Structure 1
Amino acid sequence: MENSAINDGGLRERKRAQTRAAISAVARSLTAQHGLNGFTVEEACEQAGISRRTFFNYFHTKEDAVIGSFSDELPEDALEAFNRNPDRAAGTISGSLLSALRHFTLAVLERSTVSPSEIRQLIAAVKAEPQLLGRLTREGEVRERQFAELIASREGLAADHAEIVMAAAVFGAVTKKTSQQFFSEENTEPYRELLDRNLHAARTLFAQALDTHPVEPQKDQP
C-alpha cells in the first residue's frame, strides 16, 4: 500500500511537471513570435490544450509562464554530500570546497528535468521581450545569495566573509559560462567536460603569483 501511494505521488508529480513544461513551452513560443502583449492567456491555453483554470493553477501571469519553474528543490543526498566537510579550517575556506562544488553542481544538473530545448525556448522569448531579462536578473541575484549562504554553511563562515563571497562569485561565473556553452545550438560536448575545462582554466589564472607592488609609470624616452 505504501509503495502504491509513493508511486501514485510520483506519477502525479511527473504529470504536473509535464503540464507545467507544456504551458511554458507554448508561452515562450508565442512570446518569441508576438511578444508578451501579442497573445492572450486564452490563446496560450488553447495551444497547450488546457483550461484557463489549469493555467492559473500553475502560473499567475503570462510572464511567470515564460520564465517557468527552474527552481526545483535540490536533491537531499547531493546536499548531504556537499555539506560533509572533512577538513574544515578555522577562519578560511577548506581545501575540499572546489571539488565539493564541482560534484554538487554535476549532481544537480544531471538530475535536472530542464532540457536544452527548454532553455533555448526561454532565450528566444527573452530576445523578443527584453523586459524579461530584468526578471531573470533579479531571480539570479536571489539564487546567488542563496548559493553563498549554502557555501558559508558548509564552511562554517559568515556569508559575507571575503572568501565565501569570492568563492560564490567565481564559481558562479564559471558555471554561468559553462551553461552558456552547453545550451548553445552548436554544442556537442557533455556539461561535465565543459565544466572541467573551464574550472582548469580558472585555476590556471588564479594559481599565478600576485604582484601587489605599485606599477611604476613608464618614463617617456628622450
Structure 2
Amino acid sequence: MGLRERKKLATRRALREAAVRLVLEHGLENVTVEEVAAQVGVSTRTFFNYFGTKEEALLGDLPGAFDEDDIRGFVRGGPTGDFTEDLITLLIAFLVDTEDLAAQREEMRLRKRLMDREPQLVPGVLARFHDVEQVVARAIAERLGEPPEADRPQLAAVAAMAVMRHTMRHLHYSEEEDVERVRDRVRSAFRVLGEVYGPGTG
C-alpha cells in the first residue's frame, strides 16, 4: 500500500474514532459533522469525502468484506470438506481479526458502548449484516449447487449470521478469548441449534 493510501486510511480511521468519542461523551444529537472534522483537523468537505453521514462514520466498516479467496475456497469444498466446519472458518476469517485481536477487542467494547448509548444506530448495523447474510447465502448455494434464493442456502445463512451475532454478543473480549476460543463458541452454538431442531426434540 502506497503512502497516499495509508494517509487516506489513517484519516478515515481518525474521523471514525473522533465521531465515536464525541458521541459517547455528548450523545448523537449533540454532535455535528463540523465538530467531528474539527477534532481531526480537516474540513467538513474532507469528512464527506469519506462518509456520507455522521451515522455512517460511527458504523465505519462494520462489517467489512469477505476475502474472495476465502469464499472461493469454501465454495470448492474447503478447507476441511465438512460443511459446518468450513462455514465456521469462513465466518471467523471475516468477523475475527486474527492479525490484531487486541485492537479488535477494544473496537468491540467501544461498539457495544455505542449501541447501548445510541440504540437508534442498531437498524443500520442490522441492515449491513443482512447484506453480509446474502453474500453467505450465495456462497452456500454455490457450494450446494442450488439457486441462491432456495430455502437451504437462505436458511443456512440466516442461522449462520444468528450464531455469529449471538457469539459476538456474549464474548467478553478478554485476553483469554483467542481465535480458537471463539471458534469453539461458534461450534457449540451450531451444535445447540442442531439439538434444538433435530429429530425427536420434544
Q: Report TM bin, short chain.
A: 0.7 to 0.9
Contact 1:23 1:48 in 2 (8 A): yes
- Tell me the TM-score normalized by structure 1: 0.75
Identity within the alignment, %: 32
Cα gap change, 1:102/1:20 in structure 2, threshold over 3 Å: closer, same or farther? same
From 177, 186, 200, give the equivalent of 2:188: 200
Gaps of 5+ in 2: none
* 1:179 aligned onto 2:168: yes
Cα gap change, 1:138/1:45 in structure 2, threshold over 3 Å: closer, same or farther? same
Q: Secondary structure at the match of 2:177?
A: coil
1:141 matched residue in structure 2: 130
- Tell me the TM-score normalized by structure 2: 0.81
Q: Which structure 1 residue ranges, 4+ long, deviate > 4 Å from structure 2?
A: 111-114
One-letter code of the match for 2:64?
D
CA RMSD of aligned residues (A): 2.7
From 95, 110, 124, give the equivalent of 2:97: 110
TM superposition shift of 1:166: 2.8
Cα gap change, 1:187/1:72 in structure 2, threshold over 3 Å: closer, same or farther? same
1:97 matched residue in structure 2: 83
One-letter code of the match for 1:96?
D
Match runs of 1:31-42 below 5 Å:
31-42=23-34
| Structure 1 or 2: more helix by fraction | 2
* 1:132 aligned onto 2:118: no
Match runs of 1:71-82 below 5 Å:
71-82=63-74
Q: How many residues align?
A: 196
One-letter code of the match for 1:110?
D
Q: Distance in 2 between matches of 1:146 and 1:160?
A: 12
Q: Secondary structure at the match of 2:97?
A: helix
Cα gap change, 1:136/1:153 in structure 2, threshold over 3 Å: closer, same or farther? same
1:150-193 CA-partner distances (Å, limit 9, x unpaired): 211222112233322332122222222222233x3556311332
Cα gap change, 1:158/1:35 in structure 2, threshold over 3 Å: closer, same or farther? same
Q: Whose Rg is larger?
A: 1
One-letter code of the match for 2:26?
H
TM superposition shift of 1:124: 1.9
